[in-house]
């Protein structure tokens, strides 16, 4: 049984294909369109997934999408009757629902000449989120939590998963939303773009939570573990806030109201200096989010007594909070898949649709099949011949850049040469195997550096990244040596949790140690990425440091997908070395 799952008309549009309950391929549309967070119908991702599965669109029988305009309609009606929002807001919501209802036609139109016979399954947004982590986790039983901005008129949902089935027991409905709280305060801090919330996480360690009392006037914790927000501080529930989701980078209008500025003062302009007060508010926002998040988790653990938890939704990308779950709550085991946000809904929708179809064709006594996502390498890969074709087509530019081209005879030689270059302080573009699923570069489309160099952050920002100096870079560490360097030991293959680095180790790896002594680590296993593990092992043998600095292979663009994009990025920046498969380009 084959199901194509899609996340459409949300940020980070994506597609995934599931065969008999197991993932075959998954990719975000931005990687093909080259526009960050691309939103719309992910036609190129759909095409890739079908090709990877070896089927034509006209042969496909099932498509699942992570939105369902038929759910929570009573809540929608009650909201309109009670709140009487601006008519523009109502018309905007109706327009979006009409667009959702026409998705079948949009899909059919995207594959001309191939008649569509697939049935489209609409899966509730948060059920898709919850399933995207739980049904990819190693857990038989788990508490499952989804928290984001808004989807299908809800901003959060939670419930217990048992033997592969999720029972949603609670939700937070529009207009209350932790995601909107965090996004609105991100805008107030002068970071206006979709997805800028990670900048607040990066800025927070430079401040103190001096304004937590004000945050508690904005986010109101409820006895049942849920939360509400002080609507006087926001606009989204009474006015039409501009959202652009179609065929481009998402754009969101201002979410906060003058009530928030009355409470916190005037918002920071985008290019204004970052003052200490801004850093303190960033820290207060993060601490408030954690307080609300852990309040919910405590209540759920008390209710169910289960030690396993899976996290999803856009707020599931808050790696700082995620890394504190085992210290701040009774949960002992945490799973978050590599695309916890809206992109992951493509997998969740496909898995739910597969379950439903399987249940309708078997007796209820049949235990559903389970799939464990232990790695994130589900996107396109390119052969040696394809890489050579790119290099041959651009050989003049390569020569003009003063690059030497070396062919490595083996993986051993490749890893030794690149590890040596990293140890010499060079910046490496590392392009190998299948593209990662999710926003993090995890050792196949990465820029690598020496974590020992205190100046490596500045070098990367000057040569390539050109981003804010307060944003940290991450360590990729050998799984078997994690406990020697971090205060917690756990599998963190998707860089979704921030842990404290051992105090006596921080001075040895300043390039990946953030202002508060933390690191957003990725644990690297020989089983899931043998080549990357071999490279880090080679660096460890040279330096005694079992990790490398890892950041995404891009320059103010989506992570590179094709070898042509990797070469372009290498040539237009001041990167020192490019490893494209077994071919290594070196400047000078």
* Tens of pLDDT, residues 535-550: 999 999 999 999 999 9
pLDDT for position 239: 82
Residue ranges of the chain assigned to CATH 3.30.420.40: 2-131+343-361, 140-335
Q: Contact 292/280 with Cβ under 8 angstroms?
A: no
Which stretches does DSSP call E strand in 384-427?
Answer: 403-407
pLDDT in tens, 226-262: 999 999 999 998 887 877 766 788 888 999 999 999 9
Q: Which two tokens stand for residue 345?
A: 């809904």
Task: Give the DSSP H/E element, type plus range, for residue 303.
Answer: helix 276-304
pLDDT for position 427: 97
For CA atoms 279, 282, 288, 290, give the dihedral sign: negative
pLDDT in tens, 27-71: 999 999 999 999 999 999 999 999 999 999 999 999 999 999 888
pLDDT for position 361: 74
Q: Contact 112/56 with Cβ under 8 angstroms?
A: no
Fold of 384-587: DHBP synthase (3.90.870)
End-to-end CA distance of the chain: 53
Across 387-391, average pLDDT: 98
In sequence order, the 6+-apart residues with CB closer than 8 A to the CB of 228 are 172, 176, 219, 220, 222
CA distances from 60 to 2, 63, 66, 218, 369 (A): 7, 8, 18, 47, 21
Across 373-395, average pLDDT: 98
Residue ranges of the chain assigned to CATH 3.90.870.20: 384-587
Q: What is the 3-state secondary structure (H, E, C) of 210-230?
A: CCHHHHCCCEEECCCCCEEEC
Fold of 140-335: Nucleotidyltransferase; domain 5 (3.30.420)
CA distances from 353 to 147, 219, 349, 356 (A): 22, 35, 6, 5
The reported pTM is: 0.94
pLDDT in tens, 65-124: 999 988 876 776 666 666 666 666 555 655 565 555 578 899 999 999 999 999 999 999
Across 316-331, average pLDDT: 97
CA distance 124 to 337: 19
Portion of the chain with pLDDT greater than 90, in percent: 86
Across 213-232, average pLDDT: 98
pLDDT in tens, 431-490: 999 999 999 999 999 999 999 999 999 999 888 877 888 999 999 999 999 999 999 999
Averaged pLDDT score across all residues of the chain: 94
Residue 384: pLDDT band (50, 70, 90) is very high
pLDDT in tens, 405-425: 999 999 999 999 999 999 999
Residues in the chain: 588
Q: Which of 8, 74, 10 is nearest to 43 (CA)?
A: 8
pLDDT for position 399: 95
Q: What is the largest CA-CA distance in the chain?
A: 71
Which stretches does DSSP call E strand in 1-95?
Answer: 2-7, 14-19, 22-28, 62-65
Is pLDDT of 369 > 70?
no
CA distance 213 to 137: 37
pLDDT for position 7: 97
Fold of 2-131+343-361: Nucleotidyltransferase; domain 5 (3.30.420)
pLDDT for position 99: 57
Determine whether 367 is exposed, middle or buried from the number of CB atoms within 10 Å of its CB (0-12, 13-18, 19+): exposed
């Amino acid at each position: 049984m084959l199901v194509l799952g899609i996340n459409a008309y949300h940020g980070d549009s994506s597609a995934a294909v599931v065969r008999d309950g197991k993932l075959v391929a998954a990719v975000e549309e931005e990687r093909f369109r080259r526009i960050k967070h691309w939103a719309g119908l992910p036609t190129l991702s759909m095409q890739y997934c079908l090709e990877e599965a070896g089927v034509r669109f006209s042969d496909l029988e099932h498509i699942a999408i992570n939105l369902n305009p038929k759910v929570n309609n009573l809540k929608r009606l009650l909201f309109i009757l009670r709140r009487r929002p601006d008519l523009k807001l109502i018309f905007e919501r109706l327009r979006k629902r009409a667009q959702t209802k026409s998705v079948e036609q949009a899909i059919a139109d995207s594959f001309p000449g191939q008649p569509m016979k697939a049935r489209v399954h609409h899966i509730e947004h948060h059920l898709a989120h919850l399933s995207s982590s739980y049904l990819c986790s190693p857990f038989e039983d788990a508490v499952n939590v989804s928290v984001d901005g808004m989807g299908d008129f809800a901003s959060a949902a939670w419930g217990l998963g048992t033997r592969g089935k999720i029972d949603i027991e609670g939700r937070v409905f529009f207009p209350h939303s932790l995601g909107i709280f965090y996004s609105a305060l991100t805008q107030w801090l002068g970071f206006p773009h979709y997805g800028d919330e990670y900048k607040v996480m990066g800025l927070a360690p430079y401040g103190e939570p001096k304004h937590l009392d004000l945050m508690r006037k904005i986010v109101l914790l409820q006895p049942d573990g849920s939360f509400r927000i002080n609507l006087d501080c926001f606009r989204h529930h009474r006015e039409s806030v501009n959202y652009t989701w179609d065929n481009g980078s998402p754009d969101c209008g201002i979410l906060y109201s003058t009530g928030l500025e009355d409470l916190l003062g005037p918002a920071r302009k985008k290019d204004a200096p970052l003052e200490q007060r801004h850093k303190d508010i960033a820290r207060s926002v993060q601490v408030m989010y954690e307080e609300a998040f852990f309040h919910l988790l405590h209540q759920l653990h008390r209710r169910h007594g289960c030690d396993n938890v899976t996290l999803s939704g856009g707020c599931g990308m808050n790696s700082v909070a995620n890394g504190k779950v085992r210290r701040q709550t009774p949960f002992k085991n945490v799973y978050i898949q590599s695309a916890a946000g809206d992109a992951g809904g493509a997998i969740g929708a496909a898995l739910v649709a597969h379950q439903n179809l399987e249940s309708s064709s078997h007796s209820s006594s049949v235990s559903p099949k389970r799939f464990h996502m232990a790695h994130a390498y589900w996107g396109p890969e390119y052969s040696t011949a394809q890489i050579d074709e790119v290099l041959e087509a651009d050989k003049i530019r390569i020569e003009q850049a003063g690059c030497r081209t070396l062919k490595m005879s083996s993986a051993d030689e490749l890893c030794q040469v690149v590890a040596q270059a990293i140890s010499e302080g060079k910046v490496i573009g590392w392009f190998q195997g299948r593209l990662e699923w999710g926003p993090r570069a995890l050792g196949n489309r990465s820029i690598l550096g020496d974590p020992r160099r205190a100046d490596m952050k500045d070098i990367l920002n000057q040569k390539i990244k050109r981003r804010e100096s307060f944003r940290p870079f991450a360590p990729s560490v050998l799984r078997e040596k994690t406990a020697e360097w971090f205060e917690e030991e756990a599998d963190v293959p998707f860089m979704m949790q921030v842990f404290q680095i051992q105090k006596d180790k921080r001075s040895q790896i300043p390039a990946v140690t953030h202002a508060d002594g933390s690191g957003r680590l990725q644990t690297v296993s020989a089983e899931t990425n043998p080549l990357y593990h071999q490279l880090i092992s080679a660096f460890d043998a040279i330096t005694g440091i079992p990790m490398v600095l890892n950041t995404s292979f891009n320059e103010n663009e989506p992570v590179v997908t094709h070898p042509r994009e990797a070469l372009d990025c290498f040539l237009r920046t001041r990167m020192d070395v490019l490893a494209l498969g077994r071919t290594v380009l070196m400047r000078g």
